[in-house]
Amino acid sequence: MLPPGDGEVTLTDPTDAPTYVLGVKAFSIAGGRGGVLLALVDVTRDPAVLIGRHDFVARPQRIRGSFVLRTSAGELVLLAELHGAEGTSACGWWLGRDRPRFLCAPKVGRASRYEARRGLLVESWQTDFPPAALSPPTRTGRMVRLSADGGWTEVDSFRCLGRPLAEAIDQAGARGMRRWQHDSVARLLRAARSQSRRFDDERAATLLRDAIATDSCAAEPWRLLGRLRFQSGRNVLATPPLAAAVALDSHDPAPLVDLADALVGLDVSTRAGREAFAVTLLLLERSRATRHLAGGVANPKALARALYRAYLQRTADRAVLHRSRRRRVERQLEVLR
């Protein structure tokens, strides 16, 4: 057994109820270099039996969590989430029929986090968009399963999730996370439009915020939330979500005009107005497709002109379809000169 202190976690499988201990212990080797030992101990036997060990010649690591999984063939997999100089990884043992086999789960980046849900290993990482100035942190991730031949297979994924992961996975159920996000956002958008038609803007805004928490990378909830606030005369609150809609869906010309309209009335003589404009620029600069719009603009009206021009360019080949809005945009440009 490893002495406690450097990290050990007891694992109990709910099906067969064997109990194991995963532990890490720092060690030194010849030449003064150090490493860590990851060990798997079966504590159901007397005395306890070491059934797996792996030496990492790296800086000491610590266990942040542990997971009990099953392969597609039903075999037990015991993993520890290890945090060290090389980032986070999930490593442990596959208890196959022949002998324990050491393995590590695949990972997207250094900052990935792991947990087990519904028999799958969930890897997630913090999403860059939207920035903290606009929304609480969100996570993107995927679910993987160890197949009978020892390969890891991605079976589901999610993006820009602002809800607790466990809660979202429970709600998704058999549909899976990807489908649940799509269906939930569509349902919340329908409900928000219905409430808006009934002039219940507060209820509509609540539904749109729920949609954003479900998938913060969906552009339409941001656009509708921004329009709702613009229509009520709150340009300070309208411009950041409209900028998010433009950055997330640069191919849709409609949000370009929505954001430009809100910027025309944005008062940057106030602190709130200046902060809203700063967040708007930040959002546009975060997207490669919209970065050029924010370059070199000194004030909201200058950015509005750039957005109006971008709209006219974007709809030039569909001028008849966008005739009325194009005429209004052209008049706005004349006023802003």
Record the pTM.
Answer: 0.86
Distance in angstroms (rounded) separating the CA atoms of residues 73 and 70: 8
Domain region containing 37: 1-70+77-104
Nearest to 141 by CA among 83, 120, 245, 131: 120
Backbone angles phi and psi of 85, in degrees to 5: -65, -30
Residue 217 lies in a domain: no
Give Cα separations from 262 to 57, 106, 236 (angstroms). Answer: 57, 45, 8
Domain count, the chain: 2
Choose between 41 and 259: higher pLDDT.
259
Mean pLDDT of 251-274: 95
Mean pLDDT of 210-228: 96
Give Cα separations from 31 to 26, 34, 35, 58, 76 (angstroms). Answer: 15, 9, 12, 14, 38
- Tens-digit pLDDT profile for residues 15-34: 454 578 777 776 665 555 66
Distance in angstroms (rounded) separating the CA atoms of residues 295 and 123: 36
Residue 299 lies in a domain: yes
Distance in angstroms (rounded) separating the CA atoms of residues 209 and 229: 13
Query: What is the DSSP pairing of strand 152-161 with strand 113-117?
Result: unpaired
The chain-wide mean pLDDT, for the chain, equals 87
Is the pLDDT score of 324 beyond 60? Answer: yes
Distance in angstroms (rounded) separating the CA atoms of residues 220 and 253: 12
Q: Are 105 and 90 in contact (CB under 8 A)?
A: yes
Mean pLDDT of 227-246: 95
Mean pLDDT of 84-100: 84
pLDDT for the residue 53: 86
Distance in angstroms (rounded) separating the CA atoms of residues 279 and 273: 10
- Tens-digit pLDDT profile for residues 251-260: 899 999 999 9
Counting residues of the chain whose pLDDT is more than 70, the rounded percentage is 90
Backbone angles phi and psi of 215, in degrees to 5: -155, 95
pLDDT for the residue 2: 37
Buried b (16+ CB within 10 A) or exposed e, 81-99: bbbeeeebbbbbbbbeeee
Instruction: List, in sequence order, every residue forming a beta bridge with 83; answer none if it has no partner.
Output: 62, 88
Residue 241 lies in a domain: yes
Cα end-to-end distance, the chain, whole Å: 77
Residue 155 lies in a domain: no
Is the pLDDT score of 268 beyond 80? Answer: yes
Q: Are 282 and 131 in contact (CB under 8 A)?
A: yes
